[in-house]
Chain A
Amino acid sequence: MPLVKNGAPAEDLFTTVADDAALPDGPVLVSAERFLKEADTLVARNGEIGVLWPNARDVAELKPYLSRLSVVALTFPKFRDGRAYSQARLLRERYGFKGELRAVGNVLRDQALMMARAGFDAFAFEKAADAEAFNTALATYSHFYQPTGDGRATARDVRVAHAGVAPVEG
């Protein structure tokens, strides 16, 4: 699964570990159940830790651990299932998560910009062609109507800066 991180192809350094398997050395990605059950030992462990968080579970449960989590992977079982967009914004904008926010599952280029605007910075694409087209996909729009936590300038920013310019028909 081709991973794009911070706008560039990246090697996935995280090993996804099954709930009943022993933890290998190095960065690991575990399920939400396992993480919450073993959280104290997992975050104390020498090695980066990430969690695969289902889209039906409240991300507020992660609050106590966010500063010690390297990756939160949010899932799109189908790209039409958009719950993880809300989860991503909550993690970034309300709970201040600074680590990698990874989109996993049915991740396609046509949604990449929306994901980025919601706070994702890593994308596990299904198709290699989509990973290659990532930067093109992100440049599809340069104009955004609504604010999110991504810092992109919005219509309001532009307009308030140009206030007082009279409208012309056309």
Chain B
Amino acid sequence: MYVYDEFDRAFLQERVAEFRDQVERRLAGELNEEEFKPLRLMNGVYLQLHAYMLRVCIPYGTLSARQLRAMAAVARKYDRGYGHFTTRQNIQFNWIKLAELPDAMADLAEVGIHGIQTSGNCIRNTTTDPWAGAAADEVEDPRLYAEVIRQWSTLHPEFTYLPRKFKIAITAAKHDRAAIRVHDVGLRLYKRDGKTGFEVSVGGGLGRSPYIGKTIRDFLPEEDLLSYLEAILRTYNLGGRRDNIYKARIKIQVHEMGAEAFAQKVEAEWAEIRDGALKLDKAALDAIRDRFLNPALEELEDAPAVLAAALADPDFARWHANSVAPHKAKGHAIVTLSLKPVGAPPGDATADQMDAIADLADQYAYGEIRVAHEQNLTLPYVRQKDLPALWAKLKAIGVATPNVGLISDIIACPGLDYCSLANARSIPVAQKLTERFADDARIADIGRLHLNISGCINACGHHHVGHIGILGVEKKDEEFFQITLGGKGNSKARIGELIGPAVSEGEVVDVVERLVETYLDLRTSPAETFIAAVQRLGTDPFKERAYAPR
């Protein structure tokens, strides 16, 4: 992973000192809340329903074991002993006191971690494939470019007070695990005639007006990445709407101008700056590339005997089939740790779990951990021969539920239990669903099914791109849930279709179960996934069953 140099460390210390001064001025009344709010947001500090929340940035989802231990320490010292991993590959602490925030940040800065630009109308943490650097289907490691973007966008003097937040995602694999088409800018790395570059899409996003991003450039050579991004951001900063917060994202500007007109404006701006100071020549890229310390993997054979023997145990075999993915290096594997045990809030981890995972990462995975946007953790460099031993230890700390990619691997926002924007509580619905779908054999038979829950239209739970999406709404002071069907977040991203009137909290689990039963009855074979069946059949048969009078 990228190792901070003196420059990065000195910068971070300056940032902590600046925030400490801002908090002191706020507490002394020199800054009013209106003036302080954007400053604290730019450091990841929200005022939630019950307390301040600190959102800590995990750059493109990559963490060292040492950093994960620092998170555990913060959870213990300043919070209630747990943290919540988010769909943006970040972590949130929900119970921090304002006066203690600078200390918590200083503790995190010791290991190169911070909350910079995890909120506010600025360029947010660039997200990428949690399997980056390890995936078998990868063209190149996208983290180099994510780091280049991190540095360029950090406290960018021109783009810190944008019309609205701005999210960039990048993928370099055949299979898009970063949902790039639902980001303000999506970058797909690929090679053309041996040269590395990007397909650039803009204007994707969820929220109350969901859009799939539109391609505005087929191939952007790598050396032009930053000048092109600067051209996009300048076009947005000057022309994006500021009259209405709900129309201020770049997706609205792209939609209102039309993607072609928007692209022309960007290209014209880019022509002025592409050969300027932002050019990423070899020296500039190498200076960052050289600071990535990647593990020197052993030369091993695939399918070692100890693994073959362990696969005789059906429990292990089930977990292996579910949570272990192919690696680009022979004899290695990528392991996903499910943070979705039955009955618990999706994405939460206790301080003890974090410490244990950090130890296991050191012992079995070259000390590196990734956060996936599905709110799970990943160990990207595991020796196949270690899988049985690792599994036993993961099981012991409750992160080996074999439900990765299945119906109980639910993405959910914090909802009305924490969030001041929410209309409904997402977590209890998620908990009840995991209880209903608690049988490992049954969910394996149901197969791949993404179920996403948002507690309000801001869509932090990505309900629009769930195969089944659940959206909390408020009706006469009561919590109701709308159901969408057929959404997808991958390279063929599409927005799910609303299937009918919202249902009460008491009914929502039954309705989901009826959707699943409909699929099981109508699928051509177990090889036809839920989403494939929805696409083949349309939503009608599902609707009929879901709302059938009983």
Residues of A within 8 A of B (CB): 79-83, 85-87, 89, 94, 108, 110-111, 113-115, 117-118, 129, 140-148, 155-156, 158-160, 163-164, 166-170
Contacts and interface: CB of A to CB of B under 8 A. Distances in A.
Nearest to A59: B238
20 contacts: A82-B159, A83-B237, A86-B237, A89-B158, A111-B161, A114-B157, A129-B30, A140-B17, A143-B10, A144-B155, A145-B11, A145-B156, A146-B152, A146-B156, A146-B157, A148-B158, A155-B7, A155-B151, A159-B5, A167-B5
A141 B293 contact: no
A111 B161 CA distance: 10
B146 to A, nearest CB: 14
Given A86-B234, A145-B152, A160 B277 contact: no
Given A82-B237, A85-B237, A143 B121 contact: no
Contacts of A142: 10, 14
Interface in B1-52: 3-5, 7-8, 10-11, 14-15, 17-18, 22, 30, 35, 38-39
Contacts, number: 106
Contacts of A83: 237-238, 242
A36 to B, nearest CB: 19
A110 B22 CA distance: 9
Interface residues of B, number: 44
A167 B153 CA distance: 23
Contacts of B288: 159
Contact of B157 (A80, A110, A118, A169): A118
Interface stretch (B85-93, B278-286, B461-469, B530-538): B278-286
Contacts of A168: 3
B160 interface: yes
Interface in B258-313: 272, 277-278, 283-284, 286-288, 290-291, 293
A13 to B, nearest CB: 28
Nearest to B283: A160
Contact of B14 (A80, A81, A140, A146): A140
Given A85-B161, A129-B30, A143-B10, 9 more contacts: A79-B161, A81-B161, A85-B159, A94-B272, A140-B18, A143-B11, A145-B11, A167-B290, A169-B293
At the interface, is chain B mostly helix, strand, loop or mixed? Answer: helix
Given A143-B11, A168-B3, A82 B22 contact: no
> Most A CB atoms within 10 A — which of B15, B156, B238, B283?
B238
A146 B39 CA distance: 20
B449 interface: no
Contacts of B470: none
B158 A118 contact: yes
Contacts of B17: 140
B14 A156 contact: no
B238 A86 contact: yes
Interface in B387-439: none
B154 interface: yes
B172 interface: no
A158 B156 CA distance: 18
A117 B35 CA distance: 21
A89 B15 CA distance: 24
Contact of A167 (B155, B234, B286, B291): B291
Contact of B158 (A86, A108, A166): A86
A159 B280 CA distance: 13
Given A82-B160, A163-B283, A141 B237 contact: no
B162 interface: yes
B190 to A, nearest CB: 26
Nearest to A127: B30
A169 B3 contact: yes
Nearest to B230: A146
Contacts of B157: 85, 113-115, 117-118, 146, 148
> Most A CB atoms within 10 A — which of B38, B159, B287?
B287
B266 to A, nearest CB: 14
B11 A141 contact: yes
Contact of B7 (A117, A143, A164, A169): A143
B279 to A, nearest CB: 10
Nearest to B35: A108
B14 A82 contact: no
